[in-house]
Structure 1
Amino acid sequence: MSYPDLLSFAAGLLVTGALSGVLAGLLGIGGGGIIVPALALALAAMGYGGDVGQHVAVATSLAIIIPIGLSSARAHDAKGALDRPTFRLWAPVIFVATLAGGISAGLFPGKVLQAVLGFMAFFIAANILLPFLERLMRRVHGSATAQRLCAAVIGYLCALMGTGGGALSVPTLAAFGLPIHTAVGTGAALGVPIALAGTLGFLISGWNAEGLPPLSLGYINLPALVLIGGVASLTAPFGARLAHRLPARTLKKVFAVFLVVVGVSMLWAAFG
């Protein structure tokens, strides 16, 4: 790759990191909805498309979410928007489920991972606008077993999607009765065990994979991890401050629009 191409690649990663950090703090989503498609596009331009590129994008996104999630969670915790009992209930289950998903993700073609992210984005956006999940969860509101089951499903899907889980955990936590700002803060904190487990899983499943980009450990690309993760961890607190200035209804609408954009881009990549 030529020097100008390398500069363009690095600049794209930095912009992706900045946007991902703001969205992570604003919506508690970990930024994976931006990182995965942007990084997959950049890798394809470098000649690492197809299944390998998609797996590297998903795995690296999860690794990047570790510093983003920590930064975002601290910012929300400072605002009193982290429900610690819920976090302690969800975190162990979500860690184990995400680890299983990361290890098994190498068995799925790249287009399957794109389709999963696309369909789930539409499902979550529909739930925000027509809260059918909330009506369902009211029946099991106080059930720790139901919450653990949701945590397991979310963890496994997050490993396949390369997201920090906020796109799934925030509306689910809200459906279980947490106020939206607390759901966002708790979802951001849950992104950390998701990211740790998913990173470990993809490190294992991709260790002997062929055709990986240079400077990769398993499916995790180190240059992308450093550039995107470093910038995103700096911009996440700004997004968290912005979240607490927005009304709950506005925050939900922003979340839904973002998910529709992600869903369209992923389904187009999978089937277009």
Structure 2
Amino acid sequence: MPPISEVLPFVVALAAAGVLAGLLAGMFGIGGGAILVPIFFHVFGILGVPEEVRMHLALGTSLAIIVPTSIRSFLAHRQRGAVDTQLLKGWIVAVPLGALLAAAIAAEASSTELRLIFAFIALALAFRMIFNRASWQLGKDLPRNPFKFLVGVGIGVLSGLMGIGGGVLNNTFMTLYGRLIHQAVATSSGVGVLISLPGLIGYIIAGWGAAGLPPFSTGYISWLAVALLIPITLYMAPLGARLAHAMSKRQLEVGFGIFLITVSLQFFLTVFV
């Protein structure tokens, strides 16, 4: 282990990430994983976690933190009556199934493959948000099953492979089918609950007995990082929800898009530089 003087700056960085993650959870209906995963990846590297398991540990730990954050964010949005509860009920099997499949895929994927998956999906979603036009719609209402069920599975898989709460994907899906961004954001917080709980279990099983994991880890979950960040993200999520309802649709889209581009480029750098 490196000395305290070297670890302390990264503890501070984790705390700052927790503040941003909590705000993002409320503002965009996500669990904050999009910012936690890249920071975890670098912090675990400084602490000597082997590269072979570092990205896996970052993804699993992010999902663990998303559990309470998503629940808190969902409750805050539900109080405002903006959540599409019918959609969530229809996905109560599909989304968790996808999250479990993601953990199984991650167990077989390399660290580089997982970073590239994260970066490509984030970049695609960023351009969708920034250059969004009202004409970019596939319909005026959400599609029926089985297509809707398959979309739920897909959101669970892709989100589980990115260590995120599914907000970025669900926001895109709902707005493409005529739903307002504020309702999409509110509903996405509930999607985060459906992803993070089974995702947490899946990453514990996937990483059980893996070599090189840091102390106080269970599978691909670092409980030390979880204990540090959960209180911060829980405190900040309701504030983020209030900010979301005070912003315009376009402000939410552009702000989120810029954020995703930044995260995506950062991961490409870790792979190619």
TM-score by length of structure 2 reads 0.94
> How far 1:16 moved relative to its partner?
1.2
What letter corresponds to residue 26 of structure 1 in structure 2? Answer: M
Task: Tell me what 1:61 maps to.
Answer: 62
> What SS does structure 1 have at the residue aligned with 2:208?
coil
1:134–1:172 CA contact under 8 A, matched in 2? no
* Correspondence list, 1:84-233, <5 A: 84-131=85-132, 135=136, 137-138=138-139, 141-233=142-234
1:133–1:172 CA contact under 8 A, matched in 2? no
Range with bigger deviation, 186-195 or 173-182: 173-182
> What SS does structure 1 have at the residue aligned with 2:91?
helix
Tell me how far apart the structure 2 counterparts of residues 154 and 90 of structure 1 sit (CA, whole Å). Answer: 10
Range with bigger deviation, 123-132 or 95-104: 123-132
Instruction: Please give the per-residue CA displacement for 1:76-101, whole angstroms capped at 9, x wherever unaligned.
Output: 11111211001111232000111111
Tell me how far apart the structure 2 counterparts of residues 164 and 185 of structure 1 sit (CA, whole Å). Answer: 12
> What SS does structure 1 have at the residue aligned with 2:26?
helix
Task: Tell me what 2:47 maps to.
Answer: 46
Instruction: Please give the per-residue CA displacement for 1:147-180, whole angstroms capped at 9, x wherever unaligned.
Output: 2111111111111111111111111112122211
> How far 1:270 moved relative to its partner?
2.2
Instruction: Please give the per-residue CA displacement for 1:113-132, whole angstroms capped at 9, x wherever unaligned.
Output: 11111100111112223448
Tell me how far apart the structure 1 counterparts of residues 194 and 144 of structure 2 sit (CA, whole Å). Answer: 22
| Number of equivalent positions | 272
* Correspondence list, 1:257-268, <5 A: 257-268=258-269
> What SS does structure 2 have at the residue aligned with 1:137?
coil
> What SS does structure 2 have at the residue aligned with 1:157?
helix
Tell me how far apart the structure 2 counterparts of residues 221 and 134 of structure 1 sit (CA, whole Å). Answer: 44
Tell me how far apart the structure 1 counterparts of residues 257 and 13 of structure 2 sit (CA, whole Å). Answer: 25
What letter corresponds to residue 78 of structure 1 in structure 2? Answer: Q
What letter corresponds to residue 95 of structure 2 in structure 1? Answer: I
> How far 1:134 moved relative to its partner?
7.4
What letter corresponds to residue 127 of structure 2 in structure 1? Answer: A
Instruction: Please give the per-residue CA displacement for 1:168-222, whole angstroms capped at 9, x wherever unaligned.
Output: 1111112122211010010111101101111111100100100001110001000
Tell me how far apart the structure 2 counterparts of residues 198 and 158 of structure 1 sit (CA, whole Å). Answer: 9
What letter corresponds to residue 126 of structure 1 in structure 2? Answer: F
TM-score by length of structure 1 reads 0.95
Over the aligned positions, Cα root-mean-square deviation in angstroms equals 1.8
Tell me how far apart the structure 1 counterparts of residues 37 and 198 of structure 2 sit (CA, whole Å). Answer: 17
> What SS does structure 2 have at the residue aligned with 1:91?
coil
Task: Tell me what 2:79 maps to.
Answer: 78
Tell me how far apart the structure 1 counterparts of residues 75 and 271 of structure 2 sit (CA, whole Å). Answer: 35
2:102–2:160 CA contact under 8 A, matched in 1? yes
Tell me how far apart the structure 1 counterparts of residues 78 and 150 of structure 2 sit (CA, whole Å). Answer: 25
2:137–2:178 CA contact under 8 A, matched in 1? no
Tell me how far apart the structure 1 counterparts of residues 121 and 134 of structure 2 sit (CA, whole Å). Answer: 13
> What SS does structure 2 have at the residue aligned with 1:177?
coil
Tell me how far apart the structure 2 counterparts of residues 60 and 102 of structure 1 sit (CA, whole Å). Answer: 12
What letter corresponds to residue 60 of structure 2 in structure 1? Answer: A
What letter corresponds to residue 53 of structure 1 in structure 2? Answer: R
> How far 1:237 moved relative to its partner?
0.6
Tell me how far apart the structure 1 counterparts of residues 127 and 253 of structure 2 sit (CA, whole Å). Answer: 11
2:63–2:200 CA contact under 8 A, matched in 1? yes
Check 1:163–1:236 CA distance in 2 against 1; reply closer, same or farther (3 A cut). same
Tell me how far apart the structure 1 counterparts of residues 121 and 169 of structure 2 sit (CA, whole Å). Answer: 8
> How far 1:31 moved relative to its partner?
0.5
Q: Unaligned stretches of 5+ in structure 2?
A: none
The answer to which structure has the higher helix fraction is 1
What letter corresponds to residue 248 of structure 1 in structure 2? Answer: K
Tell me how far apart the structure 2 counterparts of residues 168 and 208 of structure 1 sit (CA, whole Å). Answer: 32
Task: Tell me what 2:4 maps to.
Answer: 3
